[in-house]
Structure 1
Amino acid sequence: MSEVQSQPNTQQQDVQQKDFQKRSDAVAKLYNTYPFPPEAILDEPPPGYNWRWNWKTAYNFCTGRLPDRLDARILDAGCGTGVGTEYLVHLNPQAQVIGIDLSEGAINVATERCQRSGADRVQFHNMSLYDIDQIPGEFDLINCVGVLHHLPDPKRGIQALSKKLAPGGIMHIFVYAELGRWEIQLMQEAIALLQGDKRGDYVDGVNVGRQVFASLPESNRILKRDKERWCLENHLDANFADMYVHPQEVDYNVNTVFELIEAADDLEFVGFSNPDYWNLERLLGQSPEMMERANRLSDRQRYRLTEVLDPEITHYEFFLARPPLLKADWSDDDALLKTIPERNPCMEGWPARQIFNYDYKIMNLDDATWEFLSACDG
């Protein structure tokens, strides 16, 4: 009897696997047609920084202290054309970096990009994120930006990555948010309807989308939103295709983001990397009573309250960690006085009195702050 009952399950698994592979192939086809991101390749290191890609600053954000070692092993999971990978190499001169991507065309661009900019401590592999166990060893930092939400099974994806994260290691995740992308979802559906049986022809999809936008009245909500937020980057077809004709996309809210996180094996949520957005004071600070009520909520409920009150959020960026993650305790004055401070390397314009901080926000330094930072350098 057990053999008879197992046959339908096997057939169902075969059907699911075929559908799974079909969707993965569709994603690979998109990025082979339009390698992404489409940023220009330079014969020099990339400009500026992203502090989330700097091992020291990312680790400091998560722990309040510097890492014990700088020769980190870093994985760029779903590296695309290597824009982020290139930064990971140049921002971490002692690290070894590995980039993987499903698209062979994107990997070819990534390889050229890093070769031309002198990013020579990197290896690329044309492979699915699901197959990351084929690469030996563990990683201190895993960067996965704009990838999980394009997988047929994001939970399986984050589980695969979590198994490669070393104890005390951190993982940086970026996934789409549904609230701030509502108009994008509507345009995606409109293009799909107009494409009909030509869905999967991404050049046609871009052409259809361009014509629809050109036809919409100026008062149209979708057009207005595109002009407000997206049109400057979407003049490139690769960006337009990634946004509006992608064959596989999952958009999240706070509740489903934490369901995704809970699928990761034994990883802990460290925090969102844009804490200013999640500060309810900016939304309810004028009402002490409402703030008191909000403070009685759980962390997750407060996060949800924030996004429903400010639904402009288009993505979530956060850090996970594999315990034990050793965090600093600066409540001990003796320990604090014994530390040797170091200036954040992600700082533009220093040593001027007006600089960009790690988040590219302008800061005007008073005398005490400027003297302290100067002493850190000295």
Structure 2
Amino acid sequence: MTNPTSNISEAVARLYDTYPFPPEPLLDEPPPGYNWRWNWPAAYHFATGQKPRQSQVRILDAGCGTGVSTEYLVHLNPEAEVVGIDLSSEAIAVAKERCRRTGADRAQLHHLSLYDTPKLEGEFDYINCVGVLHHLPDPQRGLHAIASKLAPGGLMHVFVYAELGRWEVRLMQQALALLQGDNRNDFQSGVKLGRQIFDSLPENNRIVKREKQRWSLENQRDANFADMYLNPQEIDYNIETLFELIDASQLQFLGFSNSDYWQLDRLLGNAPDALEKAKQLDERQQYRLIELLDPEVSHYEFFLGRPPIPQNDWSSPAALEQAIPERSPCMFGWCSRDIMDYNYMPVTLSEAEFEFMQACDGQRTVGEILPNCALDSDGVRSLARRQLILLGPSS
């Protein structure tokens, strides 16, 4: 008897063997810039409010594809041991070449399914799982498998698709599957067919308009087009089904990484009665309300943790005074008052903020720095909330 789950996994593997993903070019130098979610100290501070106590950690890139994320994880975490796994042998081959070219020689890369993650030795302090779970025939099983390797106090960064912002994508996926029939795993023919359809549809067609508005730039590459419209397996989530997945993992939800999107005031700030009613909802209901009122969200990106997870907002004056501040490793333009923050958004520091950040040497405490600059305690907390500095206990 054939195993439907195995057949689906094999079909997904064939897609990525045909079009290794992501199709980013190979470089002969370290990757440019940063993704703060792949920097252990920055991600840990965002999720917990404080710096991690150690930098010599083990990181798993679960579903590493062609190694774009793996390469960043190595270069952004110079003291970490990094392991990458992926279902596609062709993607792993590209990942190995990518890491070889840029000297990311601490990356250990394995051709391995997420379901087989428990076969890896030891536990991991940080697990990165981007764009993978929604392509599994059993995402709960996949998440449970990688969660089993997360160390106590460890974090997981997860990215899965959202149904509301990908509605038109789903329509085209179903149309192509219908037209291809038994040949739907002929991905090269599927790309050709899909492009012909887009060229034929009227300009005011809803699917065409969404493609041009949101996806066309990246979908110029066949690998991106195939990944979006021809994947043999995809599950899109909404807030309710997302938290069913999270709850089944038995890990602690630590928040969305794009926290600005999930603010009620952004949508209801000019409707005080509605805002007051919304704030009476529980947290998950508020999230659901936000995505219903602004259905542009195409994915969920969030952090999970295995307790015990410390949480610190530095509201205690005594704790703040004893904290040691460091400038964030994820910003551009320092040393200047005009910088780009961890999300590549422009920030102009006040004179007092700039003076304080200049004094952040990783050695002195907040209490030792403040008497010599014009910034107050609330200003320090603001810098920490905006991830411009990372705070950690002095002992």
CA shift, 1:330, in A, is 1.4
Give the aligned residue type for 1:359: N
Matched, 1:90 2:75: yes
Structure 1 counterpart of 2:293: 309
Structure 2 counterpart of 1:208: 193
What secondary structure is seen at the aligned counterpart in 1 of 2:202? Answer: coil
What are the within-5 Å matches in structure 2 for residues 185-264 of structure 1?
185-264=170-249
Q: Secondary structure at the match of 1:276?
A: helix
Q: Secondary structure at the match of 2:153?
A: strand
Q: What per-residue deviation string (whole Å, max 9, x for no partner) do you get for residues 196-245 of structure 1?
A: 22111000110010100111111111111101111100000000000000
Q: Which of 150, 162, 168 lines up with 1:177 in the alignment?
A: 162
* CA–CA separation in structure 1 for the residues paired with 2:313 and 2:233: 43
Partner of 1:38: 23
Which stretches in structure 2 are left out of the alignment for 5+ residues? 363-395
Find the counterpart in structure 1 of residue 351 from structure 2. 367
Aligned pairs (5 A) from 1:1-378: 18-264=3-249, 266-377=250-361
Task: Please list the CA deviations of residues 161-202 of structure 1 after superposition, one character each: whole Å capped at 9, or x if unmatched.
Answer: 111000000000000000000000011111112212211100
- Cα distance, 1:377 vs structure 2: 4.4
Q: Which residue of 2 aligns with 1:10?
A: none
- Secondary structure in 1 aligned to 2:125? strand
Partner SS, residue 20 of structure 2? coil
SS where residue 324 of structure 2 aligns?
A: coil
Deviation at 1:352, TM superposition (A): 2.3
Q: How far apart are the structure 2 equivalents of 1:252 and 1:334? A: 43
Which amino acid is the alignment partner of residue 326 of structure 2? Answer: E
Task: Out of 326-335 and 54-63, give the one that drifted further.
Answer: 326-335
What secondary structure sits across from 1:120 in the alignment?
A: coil
Q: Secondary structure at the match of 2:325?
A: coil
Asked whether the 8 Å contact 2:162–2:236 carries over to 1, the reply is yes
- Return the TM-score normalized by structure 2: 0.90
Note the C-alpha offset of 1:353: 2.3
* 1:260 partner amino acid: L
Q: CA deviation at 1:329?
A: 4.8
* Displacement of 1:366: 1.9
Which amino acid is 1:316 matched to? Y
C-alpha distance in structure 2 between counterparts of 1:199 and 1:64, whole Å:
47
- Cα distance change, pair 329–286 in 1 and its aligned pair in 2 (3 A): closer
Q: Distance in 2 between matches of 1:297 and 1:105?
A: 47
Alignment check: 8 A CA contact 2:89 2:111 kept: yes
Contact 2:74 2:107 in 1 (8 A): yes
Output the CA distance in 2 between the equivalents of 1:202 and 1:348: 40
Q: 2: distance between equivalents of 1:196 and 1:167?
A: 47
Q: Secondary structure at the match of 2:326?
A: coil
Q: Normalization by structure 1: what TM-score?
A: 0.94
Residue pair 2:325, 2:361 contacting (<8 A) in 1 also: no
Q: Which moved more, 1:61-70 or 1:309-318?
A: 61-70
Q: Distance in 2 between matches of 1:34 and 1:329?
A: 45
Structure 2: distance between partners of 1:291 and 1:197: 51
Q: Moved runs in structure 1, 4+ residues, more than 2 A?
A: none
Contact between 2:253 and 2:305, CA under 8 Å: does it hold in 1? Answer: yes
Once the 2 structures are TM-superposed, how far is the Cα of residue 101 of structure 1 from its aligned partner? 0.2
Q: Who is 2:385 aligned against?
A: none
Q: RMSD of aligned C-alpha atoms?
A: 1.0
**How many angstroms apart in 2 are the aligned matches of 1:114 and 1:72?**
19
Task: Determine helix, strand or coil for the equivalent of 1:37.
Answer: coil
Counterparts of 2:103 and 2:184, CA distance in 1: 40
Q: Structure 1 counterpart of 2:235, which letter?
A: V
**Which residue does 1:6 correspond to in 2?**
none
User: Equivalents in 2 of 1:237, 1:200: separation in Å?
Assistant: 15
Q: Between Structure 1 and Structure 2, how many residues are aligned?
A: 362
Cα distance, 1:81 vs structure 2 = 0.1
